[in-house]
Structure 1
Amino acid sequence: MKKAFIAGILSLSIVFSLASAGYADEKKPSGASDSELAPSARSAILLDADTGTIIYEKNSHDKLPPASITKIMTMLLTMEAIEDGRLKMTDKVRTSDRAASMGGSQIFLEPGEEMTVDDMLKGIAMASGNDASVAMAEKLAGSEEEFVKMMNERAAELGMKNTHFANCNGLPVENHYSTAHDIALMSRELLKHEQITKYTGAYQDYLRKETPKPFWLVNTNKLVRFYPGADGLKTGYTSEAKFCLSATATRDGLRTVAVVLGAPDTKNRNNEISRMFDYGFAQYSKHAIYKKGEMLGSIQISKGTVPQMQLQAEENYSVLVKKGGKTADLRHEVTIPKSIKAPVTAGQVVGKLSVYQGDLLVKEFDLKAPAEVKKAGWWKLFKRTTGKLFHVD
């Protein structure tokens, strides 16, 4: 084992004995039966948003129509375009004849009408605007058809194995389906964009406020008003899909995502989401391993433009633990190579953070390069080498 370390892998093992609750198994901890939390729903899931640990599930991989929950992916691609600099909140979005013709839930956009991305997001998140969704799709991809291709490509990247999108708003159409599990995955991804809850968590707002035709927005997700800590995400309804909701709430540092598909009415849908939230917050808590920005270690860069790379926690790393469980010893290890060869790409996986309970691996995080490191030219390498040779303390 020592030879293996000397050969190139440096394992920085930091072991903590934690007199805390037992770890919640990533797949599904015991305690809640498939029927007691969401008895009327066709499918349901509850998970920890940070770690992805599933707390409860019922038929979570069944392929079902997601209705307007589809718009979570539309919002995700919009937020990613903003983060990448391809779009700004102040950019104007023009409404095409096709976008204006969408039926169902809408913000009554007129052909040729322009709204900012900020206002379009309000219309999608709060009023479930089918017209606003198509307008945003056309802004980002040129057409809804091209945007749908982007949706399916992103779904595949997120591991949404039982999902296929055929439009950007969830209106009834063939070959358009998802699962509670997949919806939870894209909901977690959307929540990485913290600004989104400004839209999904608002109960009421206005569009066209300073015009002769102001439009009052009231969030279709009433839990953001009536459930403490709820701040999203998206409702859905069609006669085929019935009543659906992907919701999120936070309490004492724990953020959960709950999804219900196929509930018979809004009362049952909201009650079962609330019941799942209550169960999760009562039974589980989050234990931090590293906080965002904390130092994890450093790696020497062979022949790079910089000689070494500092690794910091790019997010809050934590595990879910069950309250009142048996006392368990948790330990974690940061495993990174002593040296890697340039070039290194930003986001390249360069190590692992592993969390153990005894000898059992309970959670593993990829550690990624924070920035690109290009291969250095021969002159830079020559100066670096000679500098070391003639350096005097």
Structure 2
Amino acid sequence: MKAKNKLKKCLASALAFILIVSLLQLPKNAFAADDILDVHADGAIAIEASTGKVLYEKNADTALGVASMSKMMTEYILLESVKKGKVKWDQEYTPSDYVYKISHNTKLSNVPLRKDKKYKIIDLYHAMAIYSANAATIAIAETIAGSETNFVKMMNEEAKKLGLKDYKFVNCTGLNNSDLQGMYPKKFGGPDDENIMSARATAKLAYHLVNDYPEMLKTSSIPKMVFHAGFTPDEDVKMENWNWMLPSLVYGSKDNGVDGLKTGTTDFAGYCFTGTAQRNGMRVITVVLNATNAKGQGGYSARFDETKKMMDYAFSNFSVKEVYPKNYEISKHKTLPVLKGKEKNVKISTKEPLRLVVKNGEDKAFKPVLVLDKKKLDKDGNLLAPVKKNEAVGKLVAEYKGSKDYGYLYGQKSASVYVVTANNVDKANWFVLMMRGVGHFFANIWGGITSTVKGWF
């Protein structure tokens, strides 16, 4: 018996040892159940652009270096300033000493600016959005806010307003402060600090940029452009877009649908890219932070390869569909009772169609649920007359009943659309209300009598 017990213990120890060794030999992402694509990046996310539906994410809430992708915030504030009339596209700018010095640093992405020449904001914008020109970006910041320090304050405030989390802006370019020759905005960071954002925060910024100012895609999709840096053609700069996934560039293809957005590269951030593409009526936004290849090596190809992986997955597996049309009536909830109205009920239906991102084969994976606005109802669930047509009384929520779900960019779990009343219901006059009261009175008496008589038998 003792020999058998000793044998069992030996076998158990051996199995335990084998299990531990096998676990230690598993790849780093073996336990990352969410990383269905095995994206090689420190942080990543893919969303559908019209709804904000998250299609894939990996370590999406850790703040990491974003390098020149920071310029998307500078671009957003510029477009907002132009819309509000604070800045005009043909407005001219004369380089400050700071901008002049940075523009002639050949180690950075730049267009060289002359101190004796005025540059239009539209041209500086093109240099920033297409060529990631750093001095041009600072020039835009100075134009809008008077100084880069004031502008960085605006960047952080705008990020908060847009609902971003896990971020910090210390300059307007995304460079390391050490590259700014001691002229960095000292109020927001130290001499070696850089901007940081999480993949989700970066996607939120891109989401607003694309949806609030879709015209910017006309610029971000330009593969090549000439910048007139001086007064003669020999001073022209031939700018090639750093987004090499554009159809006509080295990592592009004619049918990939890529038309934006922004790359970023520093030693601290690694190789980053926020991309967007549209195919078959659906737009996708992707973000990779510190992308590498399978061997863990960063590079230009790595950020585009990992982006392509996410884009191909999104377009191959998802589509945007109208699941519930406008004026859709929810089964068993087609009307609501109205208290003291000329009519005792009012029809309710969806105000707008509800479009959802649907995974292939999951067309029936949604359940319509009516969520009424309790503030509009009394304790018995009645609306109080008068009721106006198209008055919102709640929402139709599409509850997802399928497999893995990442939710939405801003944290909501389900999509919804307002449910409204189909017509007006005026308040009944005193006579009608009185007659209803009399009717209820005798109905209650009759109900009591019938109950008593039934009790006799």
For the criterion TM > 0.5, the same-fold answer is yes
Alignment of 1:225-264 (within 5 A): 225=247, 226-227=252-253, 228-263=256-291, 264=298
Greater percentage in helix: 2
Other-structure match for 1:363: 415
| Paired residue secondary structure (2:204) | helix
Cα separation, partners in 2 of 1:289 and 1:97, compared to 1, 3 Å: farther
Other-structure match for 2:144: 140
Other-structure match for 2:343: none
Cα separation, partners in 2 of 1:175 and 1:67, compared to 1, 3 Å: closer
Does 1:56 find its partner at 2:56? yes
Contact in 2 for aligned 1:208/1:214 (Cα 8 Å): yes
Q: Distance in 2 between matches of 1:131 and 1:155?
A: 22
Cα separation, partners in 2 of 1:54 and 1:123, compared to 1, 3 Å: same
Distance apart, 1:122 and its partner CA = 1.0
Contact in 1 for aligned 2:96/2:115 (Cα 8 Å): yes
Q: Distance in 2 between matches of 1:351 and 1:77?
A: 36
Contact in 1 for aligned 2:65/2:194 (Cα 8 Å): no
Other-structure match for 2:314: 280
| Paired residue secondary structure (2:238) | strand
Other-structure match for 1:346: none
Alignment of 1:83-98 (within 5 A): 83-98=83-98
Deviations 1:223-267 (A, max 9, x none): 112142101000000111110000100111111110011121111
Q: Distance in 2 between matches of 1:53 and 1:183?
A: 15
Distance apart, 1:290 and its partner CA = 9.3
Q: 2:197 aligns with which of 178, 183, 203?
A: 178
Does 1:222 find its partner at 2:268? no
Q: Scaled by the length of structure 2, what TM-score is found? A: 0.61
- Unpaired stretches in structure 1, ≥5 consecutive residues: 1-31, 297-311, 340-349, 368-393
Q: Distance in 1 between matches of 2:245 and 2:144?
A: 30
Does 1:164 find its partner at 2:184? no
Compare 78-87 and 270-279 and name the one that shifted more. Answer: 78-87
Q: Which amino acid in the other structure matches residue 359 of structure 2?
A: K
Compare 116-125 and 245-254 and name the one that shifted more. Answer: 116-125
Identity within the alignment, %: 31
Alignment of 1:100-111 (within 5 A): 100-102=100-102, 103=105, 104-111=108-115
Distance apart, 1:364 and its partner CA = 3.7
Distance apart, 1:39 and its partner CA = 3.4
Q: Distance in 2 between matches of 1:275 and 1:232?
A: 16
Q: 1:201 aligns with which of 195, 217, 221?
A: 221
Other-structure match for 2:446: none
Q: 2:358 aligns with which of 317, 321, 332?
A: 321
Distance apart, 1:332 and its partner CA = 8.1
Q: Distance in 2 between matches of 1:180 and 1:88?
A: 32
| Paired residue secondary structure (2:76) | helix
Cα separation, partners in 2 of 1:218 and 1:359, compared to 1, 3 Å: closer
Q: 2:300 aligns with which of 263, 266, 272?
A: 266
Q: Distance in 2 between matches of 1:35 and 1:249?
A: 22
Distance apart, 1:351 and its partner CA = 8.3
Q: Distance in 1 between matches of 2:327 and 2:116?
A: 51
- Unpaired stretches in structure 2, ≥5 consecutive residues: 1-31, 178-192, 292-297, 329-350, 377-382, 385-391, 403-412, 420-457
Distance apart, 1:115 and its partner CA = 2.0
Q: Scaled by the length of structure 1, what TM-score is found? A: 0.70
Q: Which amino acid in the other structure matches residue 44 of structure 2?
A: A
Contact in 2 for aligned 1:68/1:171 (Cα 8 Å): yes
Deviations 1:23-70 (A, max 9, x none): xxxxxxxxx954453532111111111111111111111111110000
| Paired residue secondary structure (1:223) | coil
Q: Which amino acid in the other structure matches residue 363 of structure 1?
A: A
Cα separation, partners in 2 of 1:150 and 1:358, compared to 1, 3 Å: closer
Higher RCO (C-alpha under 8 Å, 6+ residues apart):
1
Which one has a bigger Cα radius of gyration? 2
Task: List structure 1 segments (4+ residues) > 6 angstroms apart after TM superposition.
Answer: 332-339, 358-361
Q: 2:154 aligns with which of 146, 150, 155?
A: 150
Cα separation, partners in 2 of 1:64 and 1:143, compared to 1, 3 Å: same
Q: Distance in 1 between matches of 2:98 and 2:301?
A: 34
Does 1:190 find its partner at 2:194? no
Compare 221-230 and 65-74 and name the one that shifted more. Answer: 221-230
Q: Which amino acid in the other structure matches residue 183 of structure 1?
A: T
Distance apart, 1:289 and its partner CA = 6.9
Deviations 1:98-137 (A, max 9, x none): 1122241111122353222221121011110100110000
Distance apart, 1:323 and its partner CA = 1.3
